[in-house]
Structure 1
Amino acid sequence: MRYRVLGALELWDGGRWISLGPAKWRMLLAVLLCHANRTVPTERLMDELWGEEGRPQSAGKLLQTYVSRLRQTLGDESGEVLITDKQGYKAHGYRLAVEAAEFDAHRFEQLVEEGRRGLDRDAPEAAAERLREALGLWRGAPFQDVPPTPAVEAEATRLEECRLEAVDARIEADLRCGRHASVLGELEALTAEHPFREDLRGRQMLALYRSGRQADALAAYRDLRGALADELGVEPTPALQRLHQRILTADETLMPPERAAEGAAAGAGSGTPAAPPRAARTPRGPRQLPPASPAFTGRHGEIAVIRTLIEEHDSSGAAAADGGDGGVGGRPVVIAAIDGTGGVGKSSLVIHAAHQLADRFPDGQLYVDLHGATAGLTALDPGEVLGRFLRALGVDGSSVPSSTDEASAQFRSLAAGRRLLVILDNAASVEQVRPLLPAGPGCSALVTSREMLTTLEGATHLHLDVLPRDQAVALLERIVGAERVRAEPEEAEAITRLCGGLPLALRIAGARLAARPGRPLRTLVTKLTDVRGRLDELSFGDLAVRTSFQVSYDGFREGRRSDDLDAARAFRLLGALPGPDVSLPVATALLGLSESRTESALERLVDAQLLESPDSIRYHMHDLLRLFASERAEQEDSEAERSAAVARGLSCYLATAQQAVTLLDPLRPRPEHAVDGAVVPLGDSAGADAWLKAELRNLLAAVAYAVERPEPVARLGVRLAQSLQWFLYPRAHAQDLQSVNELAIQAARRLGDLESEAWLLDHLAGAHWLQRAYDDVRECLESALEIWRELGHHQGELRTLCNLADALCELGLHEEAIVVQKRQLTLARETGDPAAEVIGLGNLGRAHRGLGHPEEALTCFRESLEGARRTGNIHHQGFALYEMGITYMEQGKFPEGRTHLDQALPVWKRPGTYESWRGHTWSGLFPACMTLQIGPGPR
């Protein structure tokens, strides 16, 4: 049997090429050919044929039917070509036995390799013949009539890359044979299609120059250089720069051999120096790079750093050689070590960069996946890898030393005089990497690892983060199609956000969408929005976000180090704690460990890229990692342990928040209850203000989480919401204040906590006040008053009456405000509450001023100021001074108004005070200053 995939999928029936009818048959045969002579598990085949979402319940039986029909078409009723691999009585998978001569893709690769060997032997005619024969096997795009599956798409991409490399090699052979004119048209089309392929552009420049078109050759270089600068921010490779310089100086040695020889002879007779002899061609070394991902997107900065390292290394080597020091033996090898969490795209980055840099390393590129973080596989032994490298460099297998040290020394000796690029992908440790590094000054190494290999001497470290929004959307476009993404831009943004910018998650989401071209993006958005099922959705074929994370987490569960089990537990419980990040003291409370032991566990997670800590103060977990951590907690920790841990963390937030607002305003009464929780030491009001600002997002998330939980966690959320009033209201955080109080009111009602409900209604009125929704303010306050009176709670009633009077003034109901405020003053004097009396007098003054009674207003403000000074209430001293200043200005007494506002301003400039009132004070000063034509002076 013979097979063709370099175009439509076809079979040879003994007399003609035929195509399979049903699409599923073609898909099955295509997937088996992609894995020719390897077993493909039945689960994998079903995923390829139907995808996880569309797999019918009878998929197993259907697959057996398709296999049977395919065997009939192949004339293989005995099952010797399409072989069933079994586990017990059941089919575990299927394997298609294929000879190289039977399969056009295998024959193509054989011919290409023969052509390359011809180039290495400097036999360009034979090489060109073999390469033309190889390219003649192509009839169109690979698998062009097969519906897309992940395996088919990947193999088609690989074959297309191989075809392009074969075309490049054939053009090189033609150029060596002097056929520069015949390849010009082809090169023009290829460079237009692949504008950043510098090898193709170099051949185009050479062909143009040999055709007598020096100016066009130089223009081609300028075009490429401009495009590289605009798109990638880099310069052409030194090899291409040298070619440009030689064309610029009309170097005759660039001409075909016979032309160069003629030029040399002419020079001998005319006094022109003869051209130097052509250098002997170095045999072509190993080319082990995997195909670059066609969907690779962004990472321009990281690629630029890698290119710069190698370019500067090359430049320093050339400078050393020109300086006469005998070479570059003293230069260290360039080592770039790229670290990042699982699925962030480290492998794709180095493979993409390596393809761009391949022409700088003519002696070869060595690649190995070290399996440092591969599910189900142990990390490769360095000795095994060295055996692979040595055999690739031409060492006979029987001559490879069994000792790792000896093999490493032999590898360094072989690499010493060569220009090799070594890619060590997915490394487990520095110990695994060190023996695999070349020592030759012309060599470079790119290393990827989840952990930062900090002790790798001489390495430049790059940390790879998730993709920014624009690059994440661009990656989705490349996989799904730009037209489809742009038709639903909001949904595309949502997918990138729900994937957290993680390239692996985006690739999986894109593959799901590509497998269902008629399905709208919003369908996937709906599925990803379900937090409980998001990681299930981010799995397709052999890719799974959960599996990628599991490898890192399992390393801690094995407990190889003393702090590994602490790290595993910390990872799980951090996933249960609400909020975008966590500080060390709160994590210490959450885990119930000592601070030093907690810090050790967290730093282990940072090393493994399961946590991020850019400032060594706070720790952040990626959203998808948080979901995975939460899953592990539910599987491995009891409900009681999880609840107790979260309660410890929330109690720490509450106890510290209560301490902080007390430091900011020690005289203001607040309805708080003592809480038994660890307290973060704050020091003074400035420290309290800084802590509240740093933790605000976490505190808001803690309220939203806690109020939805049963007692006693719900009560912690209610109390935390009450405490946040004294930070959010003075800083005019209206939306946050409204949100937390609305949530907490529902919880208080569910708990039957009337006192908390009344306080929260009062605080919700403050949020409406900041938004000038005074009718809503009045409604909240009147509801709170009913509860206070039912409870006989005088302190709450006093505060709410004051706030209600204020709201009535804003509504222009000044007479009603006076009635309410006099009731409050009477209650304050009866209960002996001087602080409430101070506030009430200020509000009464405002009501009188609103009715046009300035003298009565000033009397109230003076009494309020005196009371505030007696009680030491700095805030209400400021309020009284401000109101007096405004009252004087309304009477046209601008100097007196300016004096009082000047005295009020320093109050609002204190840390932790009512920041929103600074603007009020300045606005009060402005008309006074304008009228008096004097400025307020420096502040």
Structure 2
Amino acid sequence: MLGALVMRAGGGVLAAGPPKQRALTSLLLMRPSGVVPFHEMIEELWGPAPPRSAAANLRTYAGRLRAALPPRERDRLVARPLGYRLRVEDGELDLDVFEAEAAAGRASLEDGRAEEALRRLETGLALWRGEMLEDVPHGPVIAARKVAVDALRLSAEEDRCEALLALDQPARALDPLRALVTAHPLRERAWGLLMRTLYALHDVCGALDAYAEARGALAEDLGIEPHEELRRLHQAILRRELAPLRTVVSAPGPACPPRQLPPSTAVVGREEELSDLTRRLGAPGDVVIVHGPAGSGKSCVAVSAAHAVADRYPDGQLYVDLRAAGPGADALCQALRGLGAEVTGPDVAHLTYRSVLADRRMLVMLDNAADTAQVRPFLVASPGSTVLVTSCPMLSVLDGAAHLRVGPLGHAASLRLLSLHVGPARLRREPDAADDLVRLCGRLPLALRIAAARLRAHADRPVRELADRLGDERQRLDELEADDLALRASLRSPYDCLAGSGRCVDRLAAEVFRRLGPAPAGMISVQDAVRAVRGRAGEVVRALDRLVEMELAGFRPPDRYVFADLARLLARDVAAHLAERGLNGGSRARPVA
């Protein structure tokens, strides 16, 4: 219910039906295992002046809801003399779980157990997928419940930030609090938390500016001054009487080690790689690099292995997404904030980092590394810490590093991955369409996960329909998008690294990819590339080798380079985008004959 209404059973998504049926289902779920009277359902669905057919329509919607349930579950919905009752077991309804976790988090926070509070609050807040029942018509009951639940969500967000401050992690609270006061400028508690957070990060001016914004919002909308508590906080900041959370370079002790790994997801068809990686991570002090093509599931394998060995690193696990963290110094400062350390500037960040980790046993995961330069600042001499890296290129110049390549899945494993998400019965009904889907997704786990999400969202449509859509090369990359997952963005990342590089060979590699990647055959020779970019054979070979290193092409002896179908479509996409902007990627190039 914490988003669009979704019902799942047996690994599949159940049909929620038309709007009024969804409203009926939502109303029953708001009173799980309790009887909802007929008159309340009719008023919720049709208001104070229902049609004469309302009772009959209600029975129709209830019948459709029962029919949507799996046969063995249809006794969950029963008619009673005064209404309907939908049986819901403990832990089955995300709304119930969220309310329980929010209450437990608040209780833990009040008892001074900040780490427990943070864990419970983040578990509950992670269940939200959008606005509550965003695709359901709101009658008076649903609307009133939504107001209450939305208020609880905001309080839980504030409680989470309060817990982060109690754990000396103000940097993690900053962005959520800025978003909170922007969306809800009249919440004084959020403004107070933001002021305390900025002060803890030594941004006194920012804290005072936040108070001024809060005061202005309250005066403009309500015509009132801030509450006394917020005014006292303002005075304490003005007089520098508010104790900062951290005054020296330090890091959290064993009582509160950082646990920053993303949640683990199901890994299918990678049993051998997962076993190998887990074994390597079990010996602290190494650098381990998981590399392979974009979309091959490197991060999923790495995160799963990291969780499996987490207990061998008692001082915690750091996680940095290098693609999102910005330049190297910014990424290093982010890692230091995760350790609770403060530095005076990026020029000394690497020294502080090494000092903090010197006697620690920590696992440092660096996700989405583009090159060796991003990784080197995180390497430590500590024998107890391990650095785990995921990247497209192999990063072969890192001495002493262990390397594990993760490529596309096998066909059978790809079908198992699809089956895990959409159910085996659906694939067994259309085996040829399922095989085509695997082929068109290039056996890449990311593409398969997106295809599975598309199938789950349209449970009443045949698998063949999606396979036919993907069969159209002009729209395949457009079709392989679902919510926040997009294959195009993942595939494009290594190309963007080459195109934006300061090295001539990288920019030439990007040009070769644009000009020769779209070739229908998907395979080119060195001579083809030399003619296309009018370059010297030696430099063109080095450019082609860079494409192989970035997993954008493969090599076939003695002198052939091959582009997989999805890479070929990406090259066409990039070339078309540049053509629309009036760019051709290099004035010396000419088309291949």
> Normalising to structure 2: TM-score of the pair?
0.57
**What's the CA shift for 1:549?**
2.7
Question: What is the aligned-residue RMSD (CA, Å)?
Answer: 4.2
Matched residue, 2:424: 482
**Structure-2 change in CA distance of 1:111 and 1:472 (3 Å):** farther
Matched residue, 2:11: none
**What's the CA shift for 1:599?**
0.7
Matched residue, 1:358: 310
Map 1:598-613 → 2, pairs under 5 A: 598-613=540-555
Matched residue, 2:170: none
Map 1:435-474 → 2, pairs under 5 A: 435-474=377-416
Matched residue, 2:276: 305
Map 1:775-814 → 2, pairs under 5 A: none
Q: Conserved in 2, the CA contact under 8 Å of 1:26 and 1:146?
A: no
**Structure-2 change in CA distance of 1:450 and 1:147 (3 Å):** farther
**Structure-2 change in CA distance of 1:391 and 1:643 (3 Å):** closer
Matched residue, 1:402: 345
**What's the CA shift for 1:576?**
3.5
Q: Conserved in 1, the CA contact under 8 Å of 2:379 and 2:387?
A: yes
Which residue among 232, 251, 262 is the counterpart of 1:290?
262
**Structure-2 change in CA distance of 1:148 and 1:297 (3 Å):** farther
Q: Conserved in 1, the CA contact under 8 Å of 2:2 and 2:133?
A: no
Task: Give the whole-Å Cα distance in 2 for the aligned partners of 1:426 and 1:112.
Answer: 35
Task: Give the whole-Å Cα distance in 1 for the aligned partners of 2:570 and 2:522.
Answer: 15
Q: How many residues align?
A: 386
Map 1:412-427 → 2, pairs under 5 A: 412-427=354-369
CA deviation string 1:902-938 (max 9, x = no partner):
xxxxxxxxxxxxxxxxxxxxxxxxxxxxxxxxxxxxx
1:346 maps to amino acid: K
**Structure-2 change in CA distance of 1:334 and 1:629 (3 Å):** same
**What's the CA shift for 1:115?**
9.2
Task: Give the whole-Å Cα distance in 2 for the aligned partners of 1:570 and 1:608.
Answer: 13
Q: Conserved in 2, the CA contact under 8 Å of 1:570 and 1:591?
A: yes
* 3-state secondary structure, aligned to 1:306: helix
2:294 maps to amino acid: G
**What's the CA shift for 1:497?**
0.4
Matched residue, 1:369: 321
Which residue among 561, 583, 593 is the counterpart of 1:619?
561
Task: Give the whole-Å Cα distance in 2 for the aligned partners of 1:109 and 1:435.
Answer: 37
Task: Give the whole-Å Cα distance in 2 for the aligned partners of 1:148 and 1:293.
Answer: 26
Task: Give the whole-Å Cα distance in 1 for the aligned partners of 2:23 and 2:392.
Answer: 39
Matched residue, 2:332: 386
CA deviation string 1:788-835 (max 9, x = no partner):
xxxxxxxxxxxxxxxxxxxxxxxxxxxxxxxxxxxxxxxxxxxxxxxx
Compare the two structures and name the one with the higher helix fraction: 1
**Structure-2 change in CA distance of 1:357 and 1:627 (3 Å):** same
* 3-state secondary structure, aligned to 2:287: strand
Matched residue, 1:519: 461
**Structure-2 change in CA distance of 1:4 and 1:598 (3 Å):** closer
**2:405 corresponds to 1:433:** no
1:633 maps to amino acid: A
**What's the CA shift for 1:112?**
6.7
**Structure-2 change in CA distance of 1:500 and 1:114 (3 Å):** farther
Matched residue, 2:154: none
CA deviation string 1:473-515 (max 9, x = no partner):
1111122222222222221111010111112211111111111
Task: Give the whole-Å Cα distance in 2 for the aligned partners of 1:500 and 1:334.
Answer: 33
CA deviation string 1:859-906 (max 9, x = no partner):
xxxxxxxxxxxxxxxxxxxxxxxxxxxxxxxxxxxxxxxxxxxxxxxx
2:345 maps to amino acid: S
**Structure-2 change in CA distance of 1:24 and 1:417 (3 Å):** farther
2:492 maps to amino acid: Q
Matched residue, 2:293: 341
**What's the CA shift for 1:411?**
2.3
Map 1:699-778 → 2, pairs under 5 A: none
**Structure-2 change in CA distance of 1:23 and 1:409 (3 Å):** farther
Q: Conserved in 1, the CA contact under 8 Å of 2:291 and 2:391?
A: yes
Q: Conserved in 1, the CA contact under 8 Å of 2:354 and 2:380?
A: yes
**What's the CA shift for 1:645?**
3.2
**Structure-2 change in CA distance of 1:391 and 1:528 (3 Å):** closer
Matched residue, 1:645: 591
Task: Give the whole-Å Cα distance in 1 for the aligned partners of 2:109 and 2:275.
Answer: 32
Task: Give the whole-Å Cα distance in 2 for the aligned partners of 1:532 and 1:111.
Answer: 54
**Structure-2 change in CA distance of 1:563 and 1:416 (3 Å):** closer
CA deviation string 1:833-857 (max 9, x = no partner):
xxxxxxxxxxxxxxxxxxxxxxxxx
Which residue among 504, 511, 536 is the counterpart of 1:569?
511
Q: Conserved in 2, the CA contact under 8 Å of 1:572 and 1:632?
A: yes
CA deviation string 1:670-700 (max 9, x = no partner):
xxxxxxxxxxxxxxxxxxxxxxxxxxxxxxx
Map 1:879-894 → 2, pairs under 5 A: none
**Structure-2 change in CA distance of 1:148 and 1:370 (3 Å):** farther
* 3-state secondary structure, aligned to 2:561: strand
**What's the CA shift for 1:116?**
11
Q: Conserved in 1, the CA contact under 8 Å of 2:316 and 2:362?
A: yes
Q: Which runs of 5+ in 1 are unaligned?
A: 10-19, 31-101, 121-126, 150-280, 315-332, 372-376, 648-939
Q: Conserved in 2, the CA contact under 8 Å of 1:633 and 1:642?
A: no
**What's the CA shift for 1:642?**
13
CA deviation string 1:432-481 (max 9, x = no partner):
21122333212111111222212223211222211111111111112222
**Structure-2 change in CA distance of 1:25 and 1:386 (3 Å):** farther
Task: Give the whole-Å Cα distance in 2 for the aligned partners of 1:533 and 1:114.
Answer: 53
Task: Give the whole-Å Cα distance in 2 for the aligned partners of 1:409 and 1:346.
Answer: 30
Task: Give the whole-Å Cα distance in 2 for the aligned partners of 1:595 and 1:8.
Answer: 57
1:350 maps to amino acid: A
Map 1:251-262 → 2, pairs under 5 A: none
Task: Give the whole-Å Cα distance in 1 for the aligned partners of 2:394 and 2:134.
Answer: 38
**What's the CA shift for 1:110?**
5.4
Aligned-residue identity in percent: 38
Task: Give the whole-Å Cα distance in 1 for the aligned partners of 2:340 and 2:501.
Answer: 42
Q: Conserved in 1, the CA contact under 8 Å of 2:288 and 2:389?
A: yes
Q: Conserved in 1, the CA contact under 8 Å of 2:360 and 2:385?
A: yes
Q: Conserved in 2, the CA contact under 8 Å of 1:480 and 1:510?
A: yes
**What's the CA shift for 1:307?**
1.9
**Structure-2 change in CA distance of 1:282 and 1:575 (3 Å):** closer
**Structure-2 change in CA distance of 1:4 and 1:620 (3 Å):** closer
Q: Conserved in 2, the CA contact under 8 Å of 1:567 and 1:601?
A: yes
**Structure-2 change in CA distance of 1:114 and 1:351 (3 Å):** farther
Task: Give the whole-Å Cα distance in 1 for the aligned partners of 2:451 and 2:23.
Answer: 23
Higher-Rg member (1/2): 1
Q: Conserved in 2, the CA contact under 8 Å of 1:592 and 1:645?
A: no
Task: Give the whole-Å Cα distance in 2 for the aligned partners of 1:351 and 1:345.
Answer: 10
**What's the CA shift for 1:387?**
3.0
**What's the CA shift for 1:624?**
0.6
Q: Which runs of 5+ in 2 are unaligned?
A: 8-18, 30-97, 136-252
**Structure-2 change in CA distance of 1:507 and 1:24 (3 Å):** farther
Matched residue, 2:573: 631
**Structure-2 change in CA distance of 1:286 and 1:107 (3 Å):** farther
Higher relative contact order (CA 8 A, sep 6+): 2
**What's the CA shift for 1:521?**
0.4
**What's the CA shift for 1:574?**
2.0
Matched residue, 2:38: none
Matched residue, 2:47: none
**What's the CA shift for 1:334?**
0.9
> Normalising to structure 1: TM-score of the pair?
0.37
**2:489 corresponds to 1:547:** yes
